[in-house]
Homo-oligomer: A and B are copies of this chain.
Amino acid sequence: MVNRSTPPQSSNPEKPDKAQAILAGALPVFTKHGYAAASMDRIASAAGVSKPTLYNYFQDKQGLFIALIHQLTQNNSQLILSLPTEPDLQTPPEQVLRQMATAVLEEFANNPALLTLMRLIIGESERFPELAQTHVREIIKPLMERLSLYLASQPQLKLSDPVVAARIFTGSLVHYLIIQNILHGSEILPLERDRMVNGLIQLLTAGEAEGAV
């Protein structure tokens, strides 16, 4: 079960590694068929290599899948965390939050690989619970902490619990994406993106409007 022939050092950053080519070829196969139904033959041909080469770079199917998800997680971690690095503490929070929400929804709309990653991680969360946890640790948790800190730094919002508010903000957007995009519900349960964002922002910033205290 364990294959410990020396994998041709995949940590050589000089030439565009063949491991990268394999991962790039594996991505669409896994995302289209799911883990179990993705065959190593298909992945090999998609990557333009032979099957033994696959096994030269990755121990087995699981190892390849784990490496792929980890890479995607890394990419998206950097991507997500690079967006609202240090929101202007000057600009009004409703503007910052609206920018964040719109940016997230647009990013997911323009980059279907993100939706795919979400679907894969959820779908395979029983087979690969450690991958799901890695995703929580590397992406969701930093995002949530950042958002909580920002919300807590805006006392005029009068949010009683910024941690929960961050969950509500993120959860509403993720759930919107799940229904509209992943579950293909946009015709069955239509809801304009701007309407969703506006309603969400209004709810979160309603405390501000509370009289002139």
Interface residues of A (CB under 8 A from B): 31-37, 119-127, 129, 132-133, 135-137, 140-141, 144, 158-161, 163-165, 167-168, 170-176, 178-179, 182-185, 188-189, 191, 195-196, 198-200, 202-204, 206-207, 209-211
Q: Is the CB of A189 within 8 A of B122?
A: no
Query: In the bound complex, do residue A161 and residue B195 qualify as a contact, i.e. CB atoms below 8 Å apart?
Result: yes
Chain B residues within 8 Å of A207, by CB: 206
Q: A119-B123, A135-B183, A137-B188 are in contact. Are A164 and B199 (CB under 8 A)?
A: yes
Specify which of B34, B133, B167 is in contact with A172 (CB 8 Å cutoff): B167
A35 to B32, CA, bound (A): 14
A159 surroundings in chain B (CB, below 8 A): 203
The answer to whether A188 touches B119, judged by C-beta atoms less than 8 angstroms apart, is no
Name the contact of A123 in the complex, choosing from B122, B174, B203 (C-beta under 8 A): B122
* 14 further A-B pairs in the complex, CB-CB below 8 A; given A140-B183, A171-B171: A33-B36, A119-B123, A122-B122, A123-B123, A132-B184, A133-B183, A133-B188, A140-B185, A172-B175, A175-B175, A203-B203, A203-B204, A210-B211, A211-B211
